[in-house]
Amino acid sequence: MFDYRRELEKAARQMILIHDTRLLTKLILRTVVRSLKIKHAGFFLYRRDKDDYLLTVSKGERGLRVPEGFAKVSKNNPLIRYFLEEDKKINKNNFLLYEELSDFLKKGYFKKKKDLRVFFEELKFQLELFKAKVCIPGFFRNRLIGILFLGDKINKKTFLPEELGFLSVLTSDVVMAVQNVWLFEDLKSQLEKNRNLFLSLVKALASAIEAKDKYTSGHTERVTSYALILLEEIAKMKKFSPSRYKSLREKLKIASLLHDIGKIGVSEKILNKKGFLTKEERKEIEKHPLLGAEIMKPVEEFKDIIEAVKHHHERYDGKGYPDGLKGRKIPFLSAIISVADAYDAMTSERPYRSALSKEEAIKVAESQSKKQFHPLVVKALLKLCKKGKL
């Protein structure tokens, strides 16, 4: 029996490590053709610089000869318009089936609507041109990022509901991965242009992460806020020089905003689960610091930030993950993010428990000094609480 969940998680892990959209589309097409035994598949991917859609086609078993001039299509193409214009829908599904479209045309709803009849006839022609039996759109908010289309199965059988569901989720994951690629491309270019714009893009990327996890809305912004005031308090306690404080603050701000970026590679079903996680699900969640480090690896300027993200779930007593670092071996920025992250988690509502009060959360943090948390950071947290800054 085909394990859809396993294939989805495997594909998601591969996708987030690819920083090239062409390689990304080839990976997804290879996965689809292999997994569902399809003769060919294709992907129309939006190009921001051209404002059109570029077609990538798999070879499959026999492949599909792309007609000359059809390697790219404009927004006026019927396939694109069908998913962008609400009045063109023939069903409530999030995909288009060739057989369903054919039946729809045969029923002749267009005796007094010639323009619509012409549109759907052109749409059918497009599907026939690409030998597409199924088309599945991928949206980010209201923007159509791409369309996955599938040819016949090798065994000529129809697509099952569970297969269409698998493909729909896979397409959504592709869109998230494409957004990831685009955001990192923008981040790298903006590093040389404008620091403020760069931070705005980091926040946009953080928002993309939170879009996957509906239970942690606002978490990233709050963790960043707590982390920065913790650093400010520690700087006063330890009398950091202005230059050192400024450097640490800039790195901490970016690391805090991106501390959960690896969750892009974690299944939404796990992130949004209402009950407690199983042992296997917990293992998947615990991969996100390493995934985050891998995602940011291409940005050479992020060396200290990558280390901060990678180790923000280490414990002072050495019982954390991913590397079981202990005491002062844990990066200083990671130790700050760890306390800020835990404090926000404790004082926020979760589907499986109520939020703790600030006072209760402070007591828990104090009890975990030298166990889960760095004692200096806990001391700063206590000082902030007494000053009423939390």
Say whether pLDDT at 369 is over 50: yes
Q: Are residues 113 and 260 in the same domain?
A: no
Q: Which of 176, 195, 223 is the last residue of a domain?
A: 176
Say whether pLDDT at 109 is over 70: no
- Residue 228 falls inside a structural domain: yes
Q: Are residues 159 and 246 in the same domain?
A: no
Q: Are residues 170 and 215 in the same domain?
A: no
Q: Are residues 39 and 142 in the same domain?
A: yes
Question: pLDDT at position 179, please?
Answer: 85
| Rounded CA separation 62/279 (Å) | 43
- Give the CA dihedral 360, 363, 365, 368, nearest 10 degrees: -130
- Residue 18 falls inside a structural domain: yes
Q: Which of 159, 176, 193 is the last residue of a domain?
A: 176
Q: Are residues 358 and 226 in the same domain?
A: yes
Best CA proximity match to 158, nearest among 91, 99, 90: 99
Token pair 């479209």: residue = 101
Rounded to the nearest integer, the mean pLDDT of the chain is 85
Band the pLDDT of 271: cuts 50, 70, 90: confident
Q: Are residues 220 and 130 in the same domain?
A: no
Q: Are residues 320 and 245 in the same domain?
A: yes
Residue 72 belongs to a domain with what CATH number?
3.30.450.40
Say whether pLDDT at 64 is over 80: no
- Residue 193 falls inside a structural domain: no
Q: Is the pTM of this model over 0.75?
A: no
List the domain range (segments joined by +) for residue 52.
4-176
pLDDT digits (tens, 9 = 90+) for 314-360: 999 999 999 999 999 999 999 999 999 999 999 988 766 789 999 99
- Residue 203 falls inside a structural domain: no
Best CA proximity match to 69, nearest among 85, 81, 82, 52: 52
Paired tokens of 266? 């974690």
Mean pLDDT of 225-244: 96
116-135 exposure pattern, b = at least 16 Cβ within 10 A, e = fewer: eeebbeebbebbeebbbbbb
Q: Are residues 64 and 128 in the same domain?
A: yes
Question: pLDDT at position 289, please?
Answer: 94
Band the pLDDT of 309: cuts 50, 70, 90: very high
- Residue 57 falls inside a structural domain: yes
pLDDT digits (tens, 9 = 90+) for 279-289: 888 898 899 99
Band the pLDDT of 82: cuts 50, 70, 90: very high
- Residue 189 falls inside a structural domain: no
In 193-265, which ranges are continuous DSSP H helix?
195-210, 219-238, 242-257
Say whether pLDDT at 63 is over 60: no
148 forms bridges with which residues in the sheet? Answer: 43, 136
Highest averaged pLDDT of the listed ranges 54-68, 70-84, 85-99, 200-214: 70-84
Highest averaged pLDDT of the listed ranges 13-22, 115-124, 345-354, 381-390: 381-390
Domain count of the chain? 2
Mean pLDDT of 119-130: 92
Q: Which of 152, 176, 200 is the last residue of a domain?
A: 176
- Residue 348 falls inside a structural domain: yes
- Residue 205 falls inside a structural domain: no
Say whether pLDDT at 69 is over 60: no
Q: Are residues 160 and 258 in the same domain?
A: no
Say whether pLDDT at 87 is over 90: no
Q: Are residues 24 and 95 in the same domain?
A: yes
Q: Are residues 360 and 216 in the same domain?
A: yes
Strand 72-73 vs strand 96-97: parallel, antiparallel, or unpaired?
unpaired
Residue 272 belongs to a domain with what CATH number?
1.10.3210.10
Residues shown for the chain: 390
Question: pLDDT at position 111, please?
Answer: 62
Mean pLDDT of 49-58: 86
Q: Are residues 145 and 51 in the same domain?
A: yes
| Rounded CA separation 284/50 (Å) | 38
| Rounded CA separation 45/242 (Å) | 47
Question: pLDDT at position 205, please?
Answer: 72
Inter-residue contact 138 to 100 (CB < 8 Å): no
| Rounded CA separation 338/311 (Å) | 9
Inter-residue contact 74 to 52 (CB < 8 Å): yes
Q: How many CB atoms lie within 10 A of CB 383?
A: 15
Three-state secondary-structure class, residue 29: helix
| Rounded CA separation 338/188 (Å) | 27
